[in-house]
Structure 1
Amino acid sequence: MSEAERKGDQMLNAKALEADLRAVVDGEVRFDSTSRALYATDASNYRQVPVGVVLPRTTDAVVKTIEVCRRHGAPVVSRGGGTALCGQTCNVAVVIDHSKYLRGILEIDPQKRIARVQPGVVLDQLRDETEKFHLTYGPDPATHDHNTFGGMIGNNSCGIHSVMAGRTADNVLELDLVTYDGVRMTVGPTSEEELERIIAEGGRRGEIYAGLREIRDRYARDIRRRYPRIPRRVSGFNLDDLLPENGFNVARALVGTEGTCVTVLEATVRLVHSPPSRTLLVLGYPDVYSAADDIGALMEFAPVGLEGLDELLIKFMKKKKLHPEDIELLPPGKGWLLAEFGGDTREESDRKARQAMKKIGKRDDPPSMKLFSDSKEEKMVWEVRESGLGATANVPGVPLGWPGWEDAAVPPEKVGPYLRDFHALLQEHGLIASLYGHFGDGCIHCRISFDLFTHQGVQNYLGFLDKATDLVVRYGGSFSAEHGDGQSKAMYLEKMYGPELLEAFRRFKELWDPEWKMNPGKVVEPFRPDQNLRLGPEYTPWQPETRFRFPNDDGSFPRAVLRCVGVGKCRRTHDAFMCPSFLATLEEKHTTRGRAHLLFEMFRGDFVADGWHSREVLESLEFCLSCKGCKTDCPVNVDMATYKAEFLHHHYRHRLRPLPAYSMGLFGIWGSLGAKMPALANFMGQAPVLSGITKALGGIAPERSMPRFADESFTSWYKSGRHGGRSEGRRVVLYPDIFNDCFFPETLKAAFEVLTRYGYQVIVPKKRPPVVRPPIDYGMLAYAGKKILEAVRLLSPYVRQGIPVLILEPSTAAVFRDELSELYPQHEDGKRVTGLTVTLSEFMKKESLTPPRLSGTIVYQAHCHQKALLKPEAAHELFKQMGLTVVEPQQGCCGMAGSFGFEKGKYDISMRIAEMGLLPAVRQASSGDYIVADGFSCRTQILQATERKPLHLAELLLLALNRRR
């Protein structure tokens, strides 16, 4: 497409287009600045602000969307999970997001071993269903728990087990599609007789098939001569699937076209046998090159997966303290192969692995080898491999790494020599990259330390790409082996295929899309790799003064936002910690990624231009629960709760805040007053008319019940001298946070008695400590900072003596373990408080205290901050020592999230989150089961929704101690 045509696209009447789409499309039509900013980038180096976004509810709505776009001359790009690494899912076009509504598995036929899916189906959705029949969909990228079939078909995705089942193209049987000019058809393999019949029928379909036959006949010799014969050839178009020996398979020819030719409406895919038993063999070598040299020896034993990784990846993981226990499981070495063998029984899969070990072990200098028989350990080792992207991004002390050359492939038998030459090329350009990937298929992944900020750096990037493409061609490989070309590698395709086949690609594209409106500027006649960069030499983000110091991000909020690499793990919909609001809404703006992208746009300032007053950012943060799940669950540790607090601090500076900020953000004031006169406070909060007025004045959801103040707080009980504590023994400070002190004092009493029985002298501060968590969540950072320092001063006499501070409320403990050091990184007493703050389970583990035995089952809901920032495994170890069976029905937040679930307008989403697993499990629990939750918000959510009163760990321990007597 010419520059003139591109400029013509910019002359679209966007308002008229939006109005026409709204009139006829059954779906959500969004041309607002928030939505356009959200879809301006993906997981690549590129950024293009779209014309608008459509989320169709039905297949017909997709067709209608394209029909209206054509009438207006608007380009179109389809998008699923938005995890593309080469820029193919961002464009100045109307973005069609299939992932929210078009998620239907339409058919599974275990006899025929096929499935029919809509483009928005997440891969693991299908695999969970097909595993019931010991079947699976073979290609499984690392993003398998959140990528969509539409994206996999667009990119021709592969994954760990493609050595067993091949690429996506090899597993697609038929595609239902629509062209830009509105032609709907089903395509697949085509016999010569059927081809003749379709052409004879005429019409647009006949015209397309006639053109495809002409391309086949004209370019067959070049296709056979120039296409690399390797397992992972993904670059370019699959014109080889049009050859007679490949059955003129139009569906496979369209796989990997990256939305540049057609829009997929449905796909019929092949299922393969999924060996129910898997055995993992890990081999350690002196270096990754030696490991690669051994690929052929391992492939003789037909593994279902063969992965490789280098020492630098492990060093990066250690620097980031990522999966430290997993790393320890690797055998000695500086380069590793992970070979997975499958079988119908454990004996069969073990036998294959042992045969490989036996033959390799006979060498004069065999690698170290470790056979895993524990499924838990196997999963831990695979976590090391699947952490590749997260491990190589934002490594402390290492320049930022970027995609751009991250999935090249060569013949598997040449991987060793190729990697040696590739390493030399990296050194020549002064670049750093760890090497890992699908070695059994010859595919190498790496995230490279390109400098995409300066002119010299971008020129070095282009120079590297030029030589890297030459290197791959010399080895008979493919520039892309599963991520596609997009615009980052497409400019170099002529080196790989020659000018004749490049013309064939152009004809293929034009045949399907004569108006060049399908994802223009990608793959064919592409933008240059240095165009449309998110960063680039002109990237000069606003650098405001902030309250949080961002010590791990060069003291810069904009730099912290760059942590998000767009991989989209926050889009997982099951077995997920983050992001609770996305789990409930399936909205991109409620993902950690979406919020980070909007903050990026705010700091960039050319599209979202209102700075701290940005309504786009405020809108996306509204349903952020500040659960901190992203800080742990995100592979690059994006801390959206901190970003939200910082933004709200500035957004509302010198402005009135919403009512909940004053009623719940300043809860330290109102809670202290209520504790002094609990009867009056409860009357105001519980009486039918008064409670409604109280909730309305505080911006509290009318559906919520106000928590009841206890008749006597723990601190009042303690001061009365009725506690009977010890005056000697090892000392520990019991921190009376306001939630347990004023609402659930029995938890503090239980902890006091448990500690006393273990022989500790329990110290309770002379005054109730200030409330520190709520003002942070509402962005009242100046006020919160004062209260944190006040708490530090209160604890200073104890921590200077090395006395541990035990905090029962996880959200309060998390402030001292996390936010304190982010706000005051150089405060010496603050460092002492951070180092000595413990939860009860951590304290029991640290002090090697043997817990009392107790039989039974507990339904356990760990507080989000406990899981994200503290040591959640300590509680599980404690339960195991006690002899309890633990059921943890909800991986993530309970939905209450401090005061989030109390706010007006947030009750519904709070309950939707809670109903995902937690509340049904509590209701189904027997009367003899224990319901355990340490967080005040978790206990309140459970109590109000089920009327089951959960126990705090302290109460559970006291119950067990009393039964032992």
Structure 2
Amino acid sequence: MTAAAPQRLVDALSAAGVTLETDDRRRAEYSYDASNYRVRPLGVVFPRTVADAVEVVRACTDAGVPITSRGGGTSMAGNSIGPGVVVDFSRYMNRVLQIDATARTVQVEPGIVITDLMGQVSAATAGRLTFAPDPSSKSRATVGGAIGNDACGNHSVRHGRTSDHVVALDVLTADGHLLTATSDGLHATDPGDPGAVAAAAALTVALRALATEYLSEFRLELGRIPRQVSGFHLAHLLPENGFNIARALVGSEGTCVVIVGATLRLVPVAESAQLLCLGYRDVVDAARDVMTILEYSPAAVEGIDSSIVDTMRHRRGADAVLGLPDGGAWLYVELDGDDSTQVSARGSELLQRLRTSGRLVDGRVVADPTESASLWRVREDGAGLASRLASGGESWPGWEDSAVAPEQLADYLVEMLALLDELGLTGVMYGHFGAGCMHVRITFDQRTAAGRAVMADFVHRAAALCVRFGGSVSGEHGDGRARSDVLPLMYSPSTMTAFAKFKQIWDPLAILNPGSIIDPAPMLTDLAMADIAPLAWQTSFELATGDGTVDPFVRAVQGCVGVGRCRTSSGGVMCPSFRATGDEKDSTRGRARALQDMVRSGAPTSLEGWKSDAVRESLDLCLSCKACSTDCPTGVDMATYKSEFFDHYYRRRRRPLSHYSLGWLPLWLKVTSRTAPIVNRLVRPGTARLAGLTSQRALPQFTSRRRLRREVSTAVAYADTVLVIDSFTQGFRPDVAGSARRVLADAGRAVECRTDVCCGLTWISTGQLSRAKKVLTKTARALDDGTDRPIVVVEPSCAAALRKDLPELVQTDAARRVAARVRSFATAVTEQVESGWRSSVPLPAEVTVQTHCHEYAVFGAGSQRKALAAAGVDAVREATGCCGVAGNFGFEREHYDLSMKVAEQALAPALRETGSDAVVLADGFSCRMQVDQLGRSSMHLAQLLDPDREREDPH
């Protein structure tokens, strides 16, 4: 690439109306995928149409700039990053174009997320049809990526690989011709384009000659096992396979063409399915039963080991994994069919047969849908959970994807485990046992030269081992930067030559995703963890130290390994800003990548430490909801990292006005409590603007100190429970404090009300950590009274701050003791019911509830639901998402519009589905403000359960 090429490229794209984004923040976001590698691109484009994609390819070819196609960026092999232009199809080219239920086909753009495709197909066919490939990353992986890697998924035992479901591909050649590859040839997408017609004819001749020349190699070396994904899939060019060019291009990892559309085959959905969960002593025993299981025609045979389960429970609580039988490794076996009685009978017979084999420790039918969803989530989050373990260790991809014939799997695992042990490595295992494909995250030390040498030694020896068992070094994720280097161990020189010729036929200038499959760099090149200076980053938060060899802040921000769960459009809460904008910048992953580049040394970037404007921009739309700390499989806590960054960034700088108005709110409330009537008359939209707040949101009414005293003044001789009345409750809704006190008293608790302590949340969320630490130190001293009395906090965000942020900022035994005693009000209610208390208040049959994100993250996703169920409310409609206010965020002038978009993800639709007379619960003050903004009233759980509820209207 010449020095003039980038400007020529920018000018050409600009003339075509396409923007090439080349700022350091954007390049940092796209320097990584879910692999071990980091390659800085020249820039990123987001095509909106096929015409845009044509202009990008032609301009890059003219300038000699490499092109890397990208969907969800979840590649674990490093095949969605590259040194030239990254073309992200997921942002705009993500539509379903046509569904033909009769022909059982669907036409799509490459950026459609697989679960979105499944949802639209299901809606259009009344649940009768679906797109079969369902990789664990399906909630953020795109169809284009699945085609690029020939992805498989949990049900590949039944449905095979993506290549088995491709009818036709619309592709761009490296010289910009738009062609359509089908099962019987290649033709111009537009028959009136003479250049494309000629290109299709020339390519067809060359491909037929290649298939003829290497006929024996393709027959002997390719397509030998179900998961032979490594290399190019040239067996599809054989005469007996119909010269299927479309399927030959599947799995080519963007090295031959740029995919701009696809026609895919749909499959029927079984009428009935049953999940069996089988417990074994270890993964080897589990693998030895696979061939027996396959006799029963299962739709899925998936496996996990105990490390993944332990990490899920550590991160999300003991009830995060439900329905597991005894064992140290487990298989999920799904049987399906159109007759539920026959499916059940097959399941019973299989269980009985496995019990007699002597390897099964325990097994059960999982009939409860909640348990089934819980188990599948553990499996689907395997890549992330295996990366940052409950033990504190780190594991990495690199050999996460090998496959052998299912009958060879157990013996292969025995030898692989022996190799790991010999080299002092540990492998965390999960995968598609029924297809012989094993995912292994390994404790490679990529940060040191010695550790990288061990990694290279293992991968080369493991590849030789896999080949000896007749296997494939990649069984699903592709070769990319991780395994292309070892393909000569798997294939003969003649076949490798055929692969090179196939690539050259399509891409003679070698600009399409260079370095994957053909002419790769050594596997240790461009490792993201290599050559990072061992700098000490001074932080206020105490972050996990791991083994102590890496700075805690560096280790924390490197916790993101790119699996991309933050890019999902449904399920969980993370990441509300990405769901609103669809921009990688606004995902937890995008922010983590900016921070990861910040902590690197010697990188040619403006992401220079704590004063980086680029990182400040990246963090701007983070709502600090904390959902990522629990939803992210690796436990990334972006709210904490944002707070830490802001604390440093704004030192000796002027802060936004909202950091002084809302950030110092607890102090202002002490003033307003004495003059509430006057302040309420003075507060106007213009006042809000002066404070850096939006004038579009109604501000709450301030409450007098007299009203608060009336609610909490009852004294007791000895209290066995401490009720903390936080600043929000004191200042804006003291009636909730009174209700909370009465509910606890009704449960037999003697309550001490504390209004003299503060959780420091407003200073934490605005990154004013010196002040927050002073406030919390005082709080810890005040509450550490030598007892183990529960500390119940009315406001869930304040409860979360005292439980999590207090011990991390105030690193004392007193802080840790206080944090261990803290309960949110909902968790306190659940405990009281479990101790025998029953509310005497008539309860509604149905409730709509908005769980505060901080309570969701710190006390568990089901805290409100469990409390309501315990109290006797069974019908609960949950707004499972962030409300959009998130403390100060939704009150800030520049964030109001996004705040309301976030509300539309879950809260607003839930409210529209709720009857006008139905009860809406919003324990969080910010949630309540958003409910008010949406035109509804709400109450706190304490008000719902208040024995004096009929005394006055709690609204």
TM-score relative to the length of structure 2? 0.95
CA contact (8 A) 2:399 2:440 kept: yes
Matches within 5 A, 1:37-186: 37-131=28-122, 132-186=126-180
1:586 positional shift: 0.6
AA partner of residue 809 (structure 1): E
Aligned to 1:405: 399
Query: In structure 2, do the counterparts of structure 1 residues 494 and 865 end up closer, same or farther at CA, with 3 Å as the change threshold?
Result: same
Alpha-carbon distance in 1 for matches of 2:522, 2:707: 67
Alpha-carbon distance in 1 for matches of 2:525, 2:29: 20
Query: In structure 2, do the counterparts of structure 1 residues 125 and 770 end up closer, same or farther at CA, with 3 Å as the change threshold?
Result: same
Gaps of at least 5 residues in structure 1 are: 1-8
AA partner of residue 243 (structure 1): L
1:346 positional shift: 3.1
Aligned to 2:868: 879
Report the number of matched residues: 938
* SS, match of residue 859 in structure 1: strand
Q: Map Cα deviations across residues 484-525 of structure 1 (whole Å, 9 max, x no partner).
A: 000111011122121111111111111111111111111111
Aligned to 2:944: 956
Aligned to 2:788: 802
Aligned to 1:484: 478
Gaps of at least 5 residues in structure 2 are: none
1:30 is the counterpart of 2:16: no
Aligned to 1:677: 675
CA contact (8 A) 1:851 1:881 kept: no
Alpha-carbon distance in 1 for matches of 2:456, 2:496: 21
Query: In structure 2, do the counterparts of structure 1 residues 282 and 924 end up closer, same or farther at CA, with 3 Å as the change threshold?
Result: closer
Aligned to 1:221: 216
Alpha-carbon distance in 2 for matches of 1:371, 1:878: 28
1:883 positional shift: 3.4
Query: In structure 2, do the counterparts of structure 1 residues 44 and 713 end up closer, same or farther at CA, with 3 Å as the change threshold?
Result: farther
CA contact (8 A) 2:402 2:438 kept: yes
CA contact (8 A) 1:714 1:748 kept: no
Alpha-carbon distance in 2 for matches of 1:316, 1:883: 32
Query: In structure 2, do the counterparts of structure 1 residues 10 and 488 end up closer, same or farther at CA, with 3 Å as the change threshold?
Result: farther
Give the alignment's Cα RMSD to 1 decimal.
2.4
CA contact (8 A) 2:111 2:143 kept: yes
Matches within 5 A, 1:526-605: 526-536=520-530, 538-553=531-546, 554=548, 556-605=552-601
Query: In structure 2, do the counterparts of structure 1 residues 626 and 315 end up closer, same or farther at CA, with 3 Å as the change threshold?
Result: closer
1:595 positional shift: 0.7
CA contact (8 A) 1:99 1:119 kept: yes
Aligned to 1:787: 775
Aligned to 1:5: none
Alpha-carbon distance in 1 for matches of 2:200, 2:930: 58
Q: Map Cα deviations across residues 612-649 of structure 1 (whole Å, 9 max, x no partner).
A: 11111100100000000000000010010000000000
Matches within 5 A, 1:598-747: 598-605=594-601, 606=603, 607-686=605-684, 691-692=685-686, 694-712=687-705, 714-718=707-711, 725=714, 727-728=716-717, 730-747=719-736
CA contact (8 A) 1:641 1:777 kept: yes
CA contact (8 A) 2:218 2:234 kept: yes
CA contact (8 A) 1:176 1:187 kept: yes
CA contact (8 A) 2:607 2:614 kept: no
Aligned to 1:894: 883
* SS, match of residue 764 in structure 1: strand
Alpha-carbon distance in 1 for matches of 2:86, 2:58: 14
Aligned to 2:241: 246
Alpha-carbon distance in 2 for matches of 1:260, 1:774: 50
Query: Which of 199, 209, 212 is 1:204 aligned to?
Result: 199
Alpha-carbon distance in 2 for matches of 1:10, 1:19: 15
Alpha-carbon distance in 2 for matches of 1:228, 1:924: 52
Alpha-carbon distance in 2 for matches of 1:855, 1:889: 15
* SS, match of residue 446 in structure 1: strand
CA contact (8 A) 2:423 2:454 kept: yes
Q: Map Cα deviations across residues 802-841 of structure 1 (whole Å, 9 max, x no partner).
A: 222211111111111001111123x122122101111222
Query: Which of 907, 923, 936 is 2:896 aligned to?
Result: 907
Alpha-carbon distance in 2 for matches of 1:374, 1:397: 30
1:369 positional shift: 2.3
CA contact (8 A) 2:302 2:433 kept: yes
CA contact (8 A) 1:814 1:866 kept: yes
* SS, match of residue 646 in structure 1: helix
Query: In structure 2, do the counterparts of structure 1 residues 671 and 963 end up closer, same or farther at CA, with 3 Å as the change threshold?
Result: closer
Moved more, 361-370 or 407-416: 361-370
AA partner of residue 772 (structure 2): A
Query: In structure 2, do the counterparts of structure 1 residues 226 and 776 end up closer, same or farther at CA, with 3 Å as the change threshold?
Result: same
* SS, match of residue 69 in structure 2: strand
Query: In structure 2, do the counterparts of structure 1 residues 945 and 286 end up closer, same or farther at CA, with 3 Å as the change threshold?
Result: closer
Matches within 5 A, 1:135-534: 135-190=129-184, 203-317=198-312, 320-321=314-315, 324-325=318-319, 327=321, 329-363=323-357, 368-397=362-391, 399-534=393-528
1:288 positional shift: 1.8
Moved more, 500-509 or 865-874: 865-874
CA contact (8 A) 2:315 2:630 kept: no
Moved more, 926-935 or 727-736: 727-736
Query: In structure 2, do the counterparts of structure 1 residues 335 and 217 end up closer, same or farther at CA, with 3 Å as the change threshold?
Result: same
Aligned to 1:817: 803
Alpha-carbon distance in 2 for matches of 1:264, 1:570: 25
Query: In structure 2, do the counterparts of structure 1 residues 664 and 95 end up closer, same or farther at CA, with 3 Å as the change threshold?
Result: same
Query: In structure 2, do the counterparts of structure 1 residues 482 and 844 end up closer, same or farther at CA, with 3 Å as the change threshold?
Result: same
CA contact (8 A) 1:714 1:742 kept: no
Query: In structure 2, do the counterparts of structure 1 residues 919 and 199 end up closer, same or farther at CA, with 3 Å as the change threshold?
Result: closer
Query: In structure 2, do the counterparts of structure 1 residues 629 and 422 end up closer, same or farther at CA, with 3 Å as the change threshold?
Result: same
Aligned to 1:930: 919
Alpha-carbon distance in 1 for matches of 2:595, 2:186: 55
* SS, match of residue 36 in structure 2: coil
1:675 positional shift: 1.7
Query: In structure 2, do the counterparts of structure 1 residues 246 and 597 end up closer, same or farther at CA, with 3 Å as the change threshold?
Result: same
1:442 positional shift: 0.5
Alpha-carbon distance in 2 for matches of 1:322, 1:743: 32
1:892 positional shift: 1.9
Query: In structure 2, do the counterparts of structure 1 residues 762 and 308 end up closer, same or farther at CA, with 3 Å as the change threshold?
Result: closer
* SS, match of residue 163 in structure 1: helix
CA contact (8 A) 2:674 2:704 kept: no
Alpha-carbon distance in 2 for matches of 1:861, 1:959: 22
Alpha-carbon distance in 2 for matches of 1:879, 1:137: 38
1:136 positional shift: 1.5
